[in-house]
Amino acid sequence: MVVTHEQPENPNKKRKTVKIPDACRDLSVGWADPFKMLRNKHANFVLGTPSKAPPS
């Protein structure tokens, strides 16, 4: 799976460059934007004070 902020190009628009999602589609490779990938992976970010490390 490729993760990118790029979005597929409108197929009716003349292209000067190839967008990553379009290349992925043509090569049958999955792609997602970062937020979709994090949702699919059930990412969980916890904010708070770090726990104290045990004395060494």
In a domain, 11, yes or no: no
For 31, other C-beta atoms within 10 Å of its C-beta total 20
Please state the pTM of the whole predicted model.
0.66
User: Which one is predicted more confidently, 16 or 56?
Assistant: 16
Q: How far apart (Å, rounded) are the C-alpha atoms in residues 31 and 24?
A: 7
Domain contains 22: yes
Are 22 and 29 contacting, i.e. CB atoms less than 8 angstroms apart? no
Residue 32: inside a domain = yes
Domain that holds residue 28: 18-43
39-49 average pLDDT score:
88
In a domain, 28, yes or no: yes
pLDDT higher than 90, residue 37 = yes
* 10 occurs within a structural domain: no
Q: What would the mean pLDDT of 25-50 be, rounded to a whole number?
A: 91
The alpha carbons of the chain give a radius of gyration, in whole angstroms, of 19
Contact 29, 2 (CB under 8 A): yes
Q: Tell me how many domains the chain contains.
A: 1
Mean pLDDT of the chain: 88
CB of 22 within 8 A of CB of 11? no
